[in-house]
Amino acid sequence: MLRIKELVKRYGDEKAVLKNLNLEVPGESVVSIIGASGAGKSTLLRCINRLVEPSSGSIELNGTELTKLEGKALRLARRRIGMVFQGFNLIDRLTVMENVQSGRLGYLPAWRAVTRKYPQEDIDRAFHLMERVGIAHYADKRADELSGGERQRVGVVRALMQEPEILLADEPTASLDPKTSRQIMELLRALASELHLPVLINIHNVNEAKEYTQRIVGMRFGRIIFDGEPTDLNNDAMDEIYAGVPAEERGGAESNTHLREVAAR
C-alpha cells in the first residue's frame, strides 16, 4: 500500500511542481498516470524513491515513512522500490547478467558485487525472470548490443530482481516502437498480476493506458484532477487534463480507432 499525503515539491525558489498531492495505491493495482508535459509526473515518481527530494508532505510505503529516511535506511527502503526508466539506464559496457544482478546490489555483500560471484539463488531468479521476458539467451551479451525493446526488458528484470514491493515506471515505452511498446506494457501488466505487485506507470499514450491498466490518474499543473477507471475517462475529462492539446494527438503516434470512437462520442 502506497499512501501519499499533501506532497509538495518545488525546485529551488520556483513555484511548486507538485501541489499538495494526495494519492493512494492499494496492493496489486496497475495505475497509469497521464498528463501533459511538465505536469509533474516524473517528479511524482522520483519523489517516491527519493531520486528527487520532496519539499514537504508524506509518502508511506507499507507502513514505512519514506520522506524522512537518510543514508543506510534510505538505501534499505529504495531496494524495496523498483524503477523502470524511459532511457533504460543500463550500464552499457556490462553484460546483461551484470545489469540484471545490479538490481540486487542493495542486498549483496560488497565482495560478491566486486567479484561477480552472485549467490546461486539470485542467478536462478535472474534466469527465471529473463526467460519469462525472453532475454535469457542474451545473458552474456553486452547491454549496448541489444535492441531498445530488449534493453527495456533488461531494465524490467533488473527492477524485479529487487523483489520490490512496488514498481515505478517512468514512460517505459516512450523510446520504443509501437509494437515493442505494447509488448512491454503487456509484460508489465502480466508481471504485476503474477507477482502481486502494485505498479505505477507514467505514460503519454492514453490508449495504452486505457488498455493495460485498471486505474488512470490524470495530472495537470502538479495536481491530480482525474482518478478513475478507464471507462470514466471521457472527452470532458481528457479536455481538462490536456487542455489545449487536440484530441487526435492524445493517442500518440499510431491512430487508434478506439480513441476515435471515444472522441466522437
Partner 1 sequence: MSSTVQSTGRTWKKPPFIANPVLRWGLLIATVAYVWWAMTSLPFDWDRIQDGVPRAIRIFKGAFPPSFIRGELLFDGFMESIKIAIVSTLLGLALSVPIAFASASNIAPKWLYTIGRGVIIVARSFHPVIVAILFVKAVGFGPLAGILTLTVYSIGFVAKMLAERIEEIDWGQVEAIRAAGGATFVTLLYAVIPQIMPRQIGLSIYQLDSNLRASAIVGIVGAGGIGSTLLNAFGRYDYDFALAITLCIIGVILVSEAISGRIRRNLW
Partner 2 sequence: MVATTQPTGPDAIAHREWSRYTTKERWRRYGVMALVALAVVWSLSTINIIWPWLWDAPEQMGDLFARMFPPSLDGWKDIAWTLLETVNIATIATFFAVFLSLPIALIAAQNTTPNRFTLWLGRFILVSSRSVNTIIWALLFVAVFGPGVLAGILAIIFRSLGFLGKLLGEAIEEIDRAPIEALESVGASRFKILIYGIIPQVMPTFFAVSILRWDINLRESTVLGLVGAGGIGIILQGAIDTFAWQTVATILLAIIGLVIIGEAISAYLRKKVI
Ligand X SMILES: Nc1ncnc2c1ncn2[C@@H]1O[C@H](COP(=O)(O)OP(=O)(O)OP(=O)(O)O)[C@@H](O)[C@H]1O
d(CA 40, CA 19): 10
Q: Contact between 98 and partner 2 (CB under 8 A)?
A: yes
Alpha helices in 138-252 (DSSP H): 148-161, 178-195, 206-212, 235-241, 247-250
Answer with the entry of ligand X, partner 2, partner 1, none that 79 interacts with (C-beta below 5 to 8 A by kind).
Answer: partner 2
Contact call for residue 150 and partner 2 (CB under 8 A): no
Q: Provide the 8-state DSSP code for 91.
A: -
Q: Which of residues 12-71 bind partner 2 (CB under 8 A)?
A: 49, 51
Q: Kindly tell me which of 151 and 220 has the beta carbon lying closer to partner 2.
A: 151
Residue 264's binding partner out of partner 2, partner 1, Mg ion, none, with CB under 5 to 8 Å set by partner kind: none
Calpha distance 89→96 (Å, rounded): 12
Chain residues in the site for ligand X (CB under 6 A) = 11, 17, 35, 37-43
**Closest of 161, 160, 255, 163 to residue 206, by C-alpha:** 255
Q: Are 153 and 133 in contact (CB under 8 A)?
A: yes
For residue 263 the three cell numbers come to 472522441
Per CB under 8 A, contacts with partner 2 among 104-133 are 104-106, 108, 110, 113-114
- Nearest-approach distance from CB 29 to partner 1, in angstroms: 14
Which residues are near partner 2 by CB under 8 A? 49, 51, 74-83, 85, 87, 89-94, 98, 102-106, 108, 110, 113-114, 155, 158-159, 162
